[in-house]
């Protein structure tokens, strides 16, 4: 095993895989290498909870990850078993793609994609310590037994195989185990611990140490972070029981099907899959059932046995927008039922995910809840639901590059930053990975803005607000959501990805072809006349469809590209208004707040403002303005102090300062 890597990524979940991929891509031209350290390489890319990718707000994030050269969109396109565009009855700004995945195929595909990057070494093992000297990370210590894992050649050459549940590109046993503890050196470390930091699982009164069923917890890392001065919190999340499909009265339940013409997440999908093979896997369907009043009575009668109500759990905060069934029954007492979506987890197994009844109740209570649902009277439970509580780091201790403020070169991504969801984790991983690579090459770090990407909205929210519960992305969080549509992610971000070294030649050629096609369509919207009127005018009529526009165009075009230009034309006035608002709002918002400025030394600054600025350490005036407790007067004083001291540092102390 090498004793030095340019970047070390810890954790093989959705954050860790995107971080390793992005860092390796950014470093490839310079010959840099990345180590991805994970306890069990065979579980890289595993879907721990819901076997789905995307959704409202989340689907936009996946499209942005793809536009920046990430892997999540490609993986779900290759392994999706039901694709659906959500909110199609509403405006384009709030539509979001979602897909059910074959969860075993998904993990295998993520592993396969990672294995194609030769400058990533996957290491089976854990870490004992993060080594820091004089405020700079210099590496990690790993115990004996760790080693580089070589990917299975057969799994690389084949795509998703019929026996994918048993297929792991990376075996669980290391081929090159170390005989003694050692230190891996690196100037940048990306920590993506998921739910494993002091993870503790609960099913009723039963408690088991671990971050996921069948996997141990990471117990020492919390102590390491506390010793480095980080403020930790405790969060909780949960998962529902899984049922055997043949034991469900499947045909008696309401059916939910995917779109007749599925839309891929990745712009690369037509290029990387065989012609005519999207969707790549056979498509499945879901069924809908619901909880009952009798089940709710059972839950109320057993709340004293629920860990989240009995006081058994240390964590207080859970995901407000994905509550457990016991939490739903308590919070919405007037309701006598809640929808439950029965979602197949794989084409090759009989496992069915019960979306809507996440729970930590005892096994006997879970059995009653399930069997009281229509169609499930004889259902066999294969895996019981459980809650897991885990440590995290309050995200005001990172900045929007994902690098920590206390330790230079240490990056956090995923649930460690108080977020929930595969998509949010993957996006943070990509940002952390590319910025770790840029730091290693002594380049300026990248910060995505709120008007640039949903990823920018998320990171700005994390560093300027103290979360009350695990953060989940929604379209309502983005004030510029009309500019941040899922369909235009490539125009917003692929040129940036190319500049950062994340977008390869193949993806870039796809982008250029798409832009050329869009330019032709946009030109024809202005020049093609129908009944004496330009297509752009006709497109603004609410009743006008993309199919009608396509029929009027001169040439053969993909309907999705026509729909994209139609949306631009229809919302042109609103889009221009929002762009003007962005320009007005960001006039001084991007102005940097230098790290050398001590808020306590700013004359006239209120004590509350000093405390808030010291705690959150905003890096721009825009971030400072969004902090609770910061007034316009505080911003003015801050701006004056920055300008005065900047001029003094450059030998002109008498210059007149400028306003904010």
Per-residue pLDDT reduced to its tens digit, 526-564? 999 998 999 999 999 989 999 999 999 988 898 999 999
Query: Could you give the CA distance from residue 527 to residue 534 in angstroms, rounded to a whole number?
Result: 6
Q: Pick the residue with more confidence: 210 or 448?
A: 448
Return the pLDDT at 567.
94
Altogether, the residues listed in the chain come to a count of 660
**Token code pair at residue 539:** 């497109």
Measured at the CA of 457, the angle between CA 114 and CA 89, to 5 degrees, comes to 90
pLDDT band, residue 607 (cuts 50/70/90): confident
Summarize the confidence of residues 22-31 as an average pLDDT. 96
Give per-residue pLDDT as tens, 228-287: 999 999 988 889 999 999 999 999 999 999 999 899 999 999 766 666 678 888 999 999
Residue 581, C-beta contacts closer than 8 angstroms, at least 6 positions apart: 480
Tokens, residue 278: 């999207």
Q: What are the CB-based long-range contacts (under 8 Å, 24+) for 567-572? A: 567/92, 567/485, 567/487, 568/522, 569/525, 569/535, 569/536, 569/539, 569/540, 570/539, 570/540, 571/91, 571/92, 571/93, 571/482, 572/540
pLDDT for residue 656? 37
pLDDT at 597: 87
What's the pLDDT tens digit per position in 616-653? 888 888 888 888 778 777 888 888 888 888 887 666 54
pLDDT at 73: 97
User: What's the confidence (pLDDT) of residue 635?
Assistant: 84
Query: What is the number of alpha carbons within 13 Å of residue 142 lying toward its C-beta?
Result: 28
Residue 135 C-alpha from the chain's centroid: 28
Model confidence band, residue 658 (pLDDT cutoffs 50, 70, 90): very low
Per-residue pLDDT, averaged over 77-102, amounts to 93
Q: What is the mean pLDDT of residues 370-396?
A: 95
Check residue 654 and give its pLDDT: 46
Mean pLDDT of the chain: 90
The Cα–Cα gap between 316 and 321 comes to: 15
Instruction: Provide the pLDDT for residue 138.
Output: 97
Looking at per-residue pLDDT, the higher value among 501 and 651 belongs to: 501
- Measured CA to CA in angstroms, residue 196 lies from 199, 214, 223 at distances of 5, 12, 13
Rounded percentage of the chain residues whose pLDDT exceeds 90: 65
From 548, 480, 269, 252, select the one nearest 376 (Cα to Cα).
Answer: 252
Confidence of residue 153 (pLDDT cuts 50, 70, 90): low
- Would you list the DSSP string of 342-379? EEES-SSS-EEEEET------HHHHHHHHHTSTT-TTP
Q: What is the spatial distance between Cα 270 and Cα 200, in angstroms, rounded to a whole number?
A: 43
DSSP assignment string, 543-600: T--HHHHHHHSSS---HHHHHHHHHHHHTHHHHHHHHHHHHHHTTTTT-B--TT--GG
> Residue written as tokens 């995307």?
54
- Give the residue carrying structure tokens 């390796």: 24
Task: Show the tokens assigned to 459.
Answer: 């990171």
316 — pLDDT class (breaks 50, 70, 90): low
User: If DSSP states are collapsed to H, E and C, what string results for 98-125?
Assistant: EEEECHHHHHHHHHHHHHCCCCEEEEEC
Q: Residue 219: its pLDDT value, please? A: 80
Reported confidence tier of residue 12, pLDDT bands at 50, 70, 90 = very high
**What integer pLDDT is reported at residue 468 of this predicted model?**
77
Question: By percentage, how much of the chain surpasses pLDDT 70?
Answer: 93
DSSP collapsed to 3 states, 196-257? CECCEEEECCEEEECCECCECCECHHHHHHHHCCCCEEEEEEEECCEEEHHHCCHHHCEEEC
Q: Express each pLDDT in 160-201 by its tens digit.
A: 454 555 567 887 767 778 888 899 999 999 999 998 888 899
Question: Could you report the per-residue pLDDT of 330-356, keeping only the tens digit for each?
Answer: 989 899 999 999 999 999 899 999 999
- pLDDT confidence of residue 72: 98
Element (H, E) at 329: helix 325-331
Query: What's the confidence (pLDDT) of residue 328?
Result: 92
Q: What's the confidence (pLDDT) of residue 231? A: 94
Write out pLDDT tens, residues 110-142.
999 999 999 999 999 999 899 999 999 999 999
**Residue 158 scores a pLDDT above 60:** no
**For the ranges 197-211, 428-442, 475-489, 639-653, the one whose mean pLDDT is highest:** 428-442
pTM: predicted TM-score of the whole model, two decimal places: 0.90
Contact of 602 with 650, CB cutoff 8 Å:
no
Q: What is the per-residue pLDDT for 452?
A: 96
**CA dist., res. 326 & res. 368, Å (int):** 13
Q: How far apart are CA 150 and CA 99, in angstroms?
A: 31
Name the band, by pLDDT with cuts 50, 70 and 90, for residue 657.
very low
Q: Of 408, 423, 584, 329, which Cα lies nearest the Cα of 71?
A: 423
């Amino acid at each position: 095993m090498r004793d030095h890597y340019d970047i070390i990524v810890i954790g093989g979940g959705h954050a860790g895989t995107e971080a390793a991929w992005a860092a390796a891509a950014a470093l490839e031209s310079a010959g840099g290498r990345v180590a991805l350290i994970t306890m069990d390489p065979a579980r890289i890319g595993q879907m721990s909870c819901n076997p789905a990718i995307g959704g409202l707000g989340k689907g936009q994030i996946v499209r942005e990850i793809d536009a920046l050269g990430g892997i999540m969109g490609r993986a779900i396109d290759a392994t999706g078993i039901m694709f659906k565009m959500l909110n199609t009855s509403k405006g384009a700004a709030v539509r979001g793609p979602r897909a059910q995945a074959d969860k075993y195929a998904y993990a295998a595909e993520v592993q396969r994609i990672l294995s194609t990057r030769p400058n990533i070494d996957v290491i089976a093992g854990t870490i004992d310590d993060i080594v820091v000297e004089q405020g700079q990370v210099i590496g990690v210590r790993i115990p004996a037994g760790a080693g580089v894992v070589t990917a299975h050649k057969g799994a690389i050459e084949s795509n998703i195989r019929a026996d994918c549940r048993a297929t792991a590109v990376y075996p669980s046993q290391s081929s090159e185990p170390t005989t003694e503890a050692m230190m891996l050196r690196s100037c940048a470390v990306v920590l993506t611990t998921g739910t494993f930091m002091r993870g503790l699982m609960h099913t009723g009164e039963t408690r088991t140490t671990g971050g996921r069923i069948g996997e141990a917890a990471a117990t020492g890392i919390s102590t390491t972070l506390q010793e480095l001065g980080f403020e930790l919190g405790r969060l909780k999340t949960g998962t529902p029981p899984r049922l055997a499909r043949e034991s469900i009265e499947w045909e008696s339940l309401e059916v939910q099907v995917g779109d007749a013409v599925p839309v891929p997440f990745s712009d690369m999908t037509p290029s990387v899959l065989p012609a005519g093979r999207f969707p790549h896997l056979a498509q499945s369907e879901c069924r809908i059932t619901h909880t009952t009043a009798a089940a709710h009575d059972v839950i109320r009668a057993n709340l004293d046995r629920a860990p989240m109500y009995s006081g058994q759990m240390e964590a207080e905060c859970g995901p407000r927008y994905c509550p457990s069934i016991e939490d739903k029954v308590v919070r919405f007492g007037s309701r006598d039922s809640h929808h439950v979506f029965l979602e197949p987890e794989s084409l090759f197994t009989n496992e069915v995910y019960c979306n809507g009844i996440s729970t930590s109740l005892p096994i006997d209570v879970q059995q009653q809840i399930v069997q009281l649902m229509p169609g499930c009277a004889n259902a066999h439970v294969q895996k019981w639901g459980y809650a897991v509580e885990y440590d995290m780091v309050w995200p005001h201790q990172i900045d929007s590059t994902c690098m920590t403020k206390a330790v230079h070169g240490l990056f956090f991504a995923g649930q460690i930053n108080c977020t929930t969801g595969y998509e949010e984790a993957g996006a943070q991983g990509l940002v952390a990975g590319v910025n770790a690579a840029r730091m290693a090459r002594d380049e300026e770090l990248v910060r995505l803005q709120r008007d640039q990407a949903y990823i920018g909205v998320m990171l700005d929210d994390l560093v300027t607000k103290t979360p009350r519960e695990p953060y989940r992305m929604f379209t309502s969080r983005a004030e510029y959501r009309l500019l941040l549509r899922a369909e235009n992610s490539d125009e917003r971000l692929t040129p940036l990805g190319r500049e950062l070294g994340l977008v390869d030649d193949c993806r870039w050629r796809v982008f250029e072809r798409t832009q050329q096609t869009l330019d032709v369509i946009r030109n024809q919207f202005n020049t093609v006349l129908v009944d004496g009127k330009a297509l752009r005018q006709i497109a603004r009529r609410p009743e006008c469809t993309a199919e009608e526009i396509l029929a009027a165009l001169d040439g053969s075009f993909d309907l999705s590209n026509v729909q994209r230009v139609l949306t631009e034309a229809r919302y042109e006035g609103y889009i221009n208004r929002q762009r003007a608002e962005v320009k007005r709002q960001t006039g001084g918002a991007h102005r940097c707040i230098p790290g050398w400025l001590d808020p306590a030394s700013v004359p006239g600054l209120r004590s509350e403002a000093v405390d808030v600025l010291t705690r959150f350490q905003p890096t721009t005036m825009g971030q400072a303005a969004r902090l609770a407790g910061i007034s316009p007067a505080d911003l003015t004083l801050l701006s004056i102090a920055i300008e005065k001291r900047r001029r003094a540092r450059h030998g002109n102390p008498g210059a007149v300062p400028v306003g904010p």
